């Protein structure tokens, strides 16, 4: 299995964007359990980066290190240009963190939570109130602003958490599993919020267990497995890392099936289903060539399906989390 695709800048004007977050050989162990076994990361400024991995892979540990909540045992990391070992305060001033260790206090109202953040950031009182009102409005929390945060739904709490983070105008936001436990509507709402953050120029470093979330949001994805980066690249690059693209032809007539099998010798046979599987990238050119060969032999397939590897396939190929769902075939 190829191990890694080197990061390249996304918004291509040919210039390399500066890394907002970078890490080299980052290590962390708890007792004799190695959680991060020397990971390298590079997140260009103004992009969304997803650290994708199954439960217990070390995602939260990575976020805690990069957001200065805990220190690494080895390796170097830079956040917003600051060396975490030498100048953690400067890094901390440039970032916001939300997620599993949420800062929301349930006993006070949403608005009071916001004021507290404004005080922490030493905003003058009037300015603090203005910023709080603006952010509550932006995250659709004005109506609930005077209610205790403990009465908020999961989605509202996450929105308040992000609003609180934005009081400090961070350049980089770490979102640890931002949609775990949210219902589908709240989840899509959160995705929209993340896209808006990025269009405002914020760099987003998120962790997720969800492949569709990484595919949907991230410019670059690193798959974390067993304390190591198993692969890194854009969703498209990751999908190209693994084989598995194929065309499947199914026949109802055994004679047609036999002739097709002798015409397409590279195919894998499934004699029971009268189906042939041909390795293919699913491109128009390859499809045409397969169909042309069948045509010249006077054979017609009853069904043709194209399977292109998706992030699920990549994830399952790279991690030990289980087996892929084989039901996702595109019928063309």
Per CB under 6 A, residues contacting ligand ADP are 30, 35, 53, 55-61
Taking the complex as a whole, how short is the minimal distance between the CB of residue 57 and ligand ADP, in angstroms?
Answer: 4
Q: Are 100 and 176 in contact (CB under 8 A)?
A: yes
What would the two tokens of residue 293 be? 């060969």
Taking the complex as a whole, how short is the minimal distance between the CB of residue 100 and ligand ADP, in angstroms?
Answer: 8
Q: Are 178 and 165 in contact (CB under 8 A)?
A: no
Cα dihedral: 117, 123, 126, 130 (round 10): -60
Q: Which is nearer to ligand ADP, 55 or 255 (CB)?
A: 55
Q: Which is nearer to ligand ADP, 35 or 238 (CB)?
A: 35
Q: Which is nearer to ligand ADP, 30 or 296 (CB)?
A: 30
Q: Which is nearer to ligand ADP, 94 or 321 (CB)?
A: 321
Taking the complex as a whole, how short is the minimal distance between the CB of residue 177 and ligand ADP, in angstroms?
Answer: 7
Taking the complex as a whole, how short is the minimal distance between the CB of residue 81 and ligand ADP, in angstroms?
Answer: 25
Cα dihedral: 222, 224, 227, 231 (round 10): -60
Q: CB neighbours of 199 closer than 8 A, spacing ≥ 6?
A: none
Query: What is the sign, positive or negative, of the torsion defined by CA atoms of 139, 144, 145, 148?
Result: negative
Q: Which is nearer to ligand ADP, 34 or 308 (CB)?
A: 34
Query: What is the sign, positive or negative, of the torsion defined by CA atoms of 93, 98, 101, 104?
Result: positive
Taking the complex as a whole, how short is the minimal distance between the CB of residue 132 and ligand ADP, in angstroms?
Answer: 31
């Amino acid at each position: 299995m190829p191990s890694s695709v080197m990061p390249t800048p996304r918004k291509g004007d040919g210039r390399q964007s500066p890394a907002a977050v970078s890490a080299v050989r980052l290590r962390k162990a708890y007792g004799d359990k190695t959680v991060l076994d020397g990971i390298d990361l590079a997140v260009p400024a103004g992009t969304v980066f997803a650290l994708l991995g199954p439960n217990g892979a070390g995602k939260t540990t990575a976020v805690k290190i990069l957001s200065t909540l805990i220190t690494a045992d080895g390796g170097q990391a830079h956040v917003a240009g600051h060396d975490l070992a030498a100048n953690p305060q400067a890094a901390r001033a440039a970032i916001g963190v939300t997620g599993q260790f949420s800062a929301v206090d349930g006993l006070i109202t949403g608005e009071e939570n916001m004021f507290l953040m404004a005080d922490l950031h030493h905003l003058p009182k009037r300015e603090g109130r203005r910023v709080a009102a603006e952010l509550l409005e932006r995250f659709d929390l004005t109506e609930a602003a005077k209610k205790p945060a403990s009465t908020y739904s999961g989605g509202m709490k996450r929105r308040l958490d992000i609003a609180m983070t934005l009081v400090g105008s961070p350049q980089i936001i770490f979102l640890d599993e931002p949609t775990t436990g949210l219902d589908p509507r709240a989840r899509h709402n959160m995705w929209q919020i993340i896209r808006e953050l990025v269009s405002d120029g914020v760099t987003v470093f998120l962790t997720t267990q969800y492949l569709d979330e990484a595919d949907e949001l991230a410019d670059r994805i690193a798959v974390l497995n067993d304390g190591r980066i198993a692969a890194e690249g854009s969703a498209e690059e990751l999908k190209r890392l693994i084989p598995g693209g194929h065309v499947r032809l199914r026949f109802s007539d055994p004679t047609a099936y036999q002739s097709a099998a002798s015409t397409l010798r590279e195919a894998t046979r499934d004699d029971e289903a009268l189906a042939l599987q041909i390795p293919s990238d699913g491109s128009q050119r390859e499809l045409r060539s397969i169909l042309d060969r069948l045509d010249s032999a006077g054979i017609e397939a009853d069904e043709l399906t194209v399977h292109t590897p998706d992030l699920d396939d990549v994830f399952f190929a790279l991690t030990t989390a289980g087996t892929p769902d084989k039901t996702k075939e595109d019928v063309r």
